[in-house]
A = this chain, B = another copy of it.
Amino acid sequence: MPQEKERNRRVILASRPTGAPTEANFRFETQPVPKPGDGEILLRTVYLSLDPYMRGRMSDAPSYVAPFAVDEVLGGGTVAIVERSNHADYRQGDWVVSQSGWQDYALSDGRGLFKLQGPVLKHPSWALGLLGMTGFTAYMGLLDIGDPQPGETVVVAAATGAVGSVVGQIAKLKGCRVVGIAGGEEKCRYAEEKLGFDRCLDHRQDDLAAQLKQHCPDGIDVYFESVGGKVFNAVLPLMNTKGRIPVCGLIADYNSSGELPQGGDRLPLFQNAILRKRLRVQGFIINQDYGDRFEEFFRQMSQLIRLEINDRE
C-alpha cells in the first residue's frame, strides 16, 4: 500500500488490549492530508520504529511512560521527510526524526524534531536504531552508568535485541570482554559471528549459571540489565567488587501478576551483594534522564560507526 498525496492513513488505538493485542484493539481510518499553518511543517512518515515499550503504553497501568490515549493515533518514533514548510528552520526535502506515530502524515511546529544532516542521510533509518532511541539507550546506559574499562567483562542481557546488540558492540570497541545472553542457538550464533561478541550463551539451557561462570573467568564488571528473572540470578553471584548494573528494562517481569512470586525472598541476597560488593545499580529511562545529551550521543555514535566501518574496510 503506497502512500498517497491526498490521503492520510492512520492507526488508532480503539481499546486497551488485555494480554496479547488483537485486531479489535485497533481501528484503521483515513483523513485528508492536513495543511500546515503559519510556522508549521507537514511531515511524511518514511520509517516507523516498532518497540517493546509500545505494548506497555497500550495499557493504562502505572508505568514509566504515559499511556497512549484511546481513540488517538498510536504514538511512535519516526523518520520523516518535510513535504511542505511554513517554518523558517525547515525546507521541503529535509529529513527529521519525529514522533509522528502510526500515520502517513503529521503536522509539526518544529518542537521535538531532530534534523538529520551529514553522513546519516545515506542511512536515514539508522536514526531509529543505532543512532536513535535504542542506540541512545545502549550508549548512555553503558557509558554513563556502566563506565566500562578496557579489559573488564561486560555481560549483556537480550544480546541480540535493538539495545543489547549495540551495548555489546560499543563494549567491544572499548576493549572489554563481552558475553551476551540470548534465547536460542541462532541468536547466539548471530551475536558471536556478526556482532563480534566474545561469547553468547543461551538462557534456555539449564546450566546457564555454570556456563556463565565458565565464560566469565574474571567475574563480571558491568551487567547491562533489561531482562531480570533467571538471567539476573545467574549474573549476581559473579558480579565483581565495584560492579555496575545499569537497568533499562525487566522484560521477564512485564507480564507478572503483581503478586510476590512464591519461594524464598531474594531481596536480602541482593541488598547484601550491593553492600559487600559495593555495587552501583541504577535504573534509567533514556529520554527523561539523558534527553539533553542526544546531540552529544549522535555525534559520538556517528564517529564510532565510521571508525568501525573503516576498520572493516
A interface, CB within 8 angstroms of B = 62-64, 228, 232, 242, 247-250, 253, 256, 259-272, 274-285, 288-289
Q: Which of A64, A277, A289 has the most CB of B within 10 A?
A: A64
| A242 vs chain B, min Cβ distance (A) | 8
Closest to A270 in B: B267
| Contact (Cβ within 8 A) A264 B262 | yes
Q: Assess whether A283 is in contact with B278, with CB atoms less than 8 Å apart.
A: yes
* 6 nearest A-B pairs in the assembled complex, by CB-CB distance: A260-B264, A266-B267, A275-B283, A274-B283, A278-B283, A280-B282
CA distance A123 to B94 in the complex (A): 70
B contact residues around A289 at 8 Å (CB): 242, 278
A4 CB to closest chain B CB (Å) equals: 41
Most central of A256, A274, A275 by chain B CB within 10 Å = A275
Closest to A265 in B: B261
Q: Which of B228, B268, B278 contacts A271 (CB 8 A)?
A: B228
Query: Are A262 and B261 interface neighbours, CB within 8 A?
Result: no
Contacts of A274 in B (CB 8 A): 247, 281-283
- With A and B bound together, what is the CA distance between A268 and B233 in angstroms? 11
Contacting residues, chain B, for A265 (C-beta < 8 A): 260-267
Instruction: Find out whether the CB atom of B250 lies under 8 angstroms from the CB atom of A260.
Output: no
- A263 nearest CB across to chain B (Å): 6
| Contacting pair B228 A268 (CB below 8 A) | yes
Q: How far is the CB of A265 from chain B (nearest CB, A)?
A: 4
Q: A196 → chain B, closest Cβ, in Å? A: 28
Contact check, B267 vs A278: say whether CB atoms are below 8 A apart.
no
Query: How many angstroms from the CA of A271 to the CA of B271 in the assembled complex?
Result: 11
Residues of chain B contacted by A276 (CB below 8 angstroms): 62-64, 283
What would 16 A/B residue contacts be, using CB atoms closer than 8 Å?
A62-B276, A64-B278, A228-B268, A232-B271, A247-B275, A248-B275, A250-B268, A253-B271, A259-B264, A260-B265, A265-B267, A266-B266, A275-B283, A277-B283, A278-B288, A280-B281
CA distance A276 to B288 in the complex (A): 11
* Residues of B contacting A263 in the complex (Cβ-Cβ under 8 angstroms): 260, 265
Cα–Cα distance between A247 and B261 once the two chains are bound (Å): 25
> Cβ of A279 and Cβ of B268 under 8 Å apart?
no
A137 nearest CB across to chain B (Å): 12
What CA separation (Å) do A253 and B275 show in the bound complex? 11
Nearest-neighbor residue (CB-CB) of A282 within chain B: B280
A272 touches B250 (CB 8 A): yes
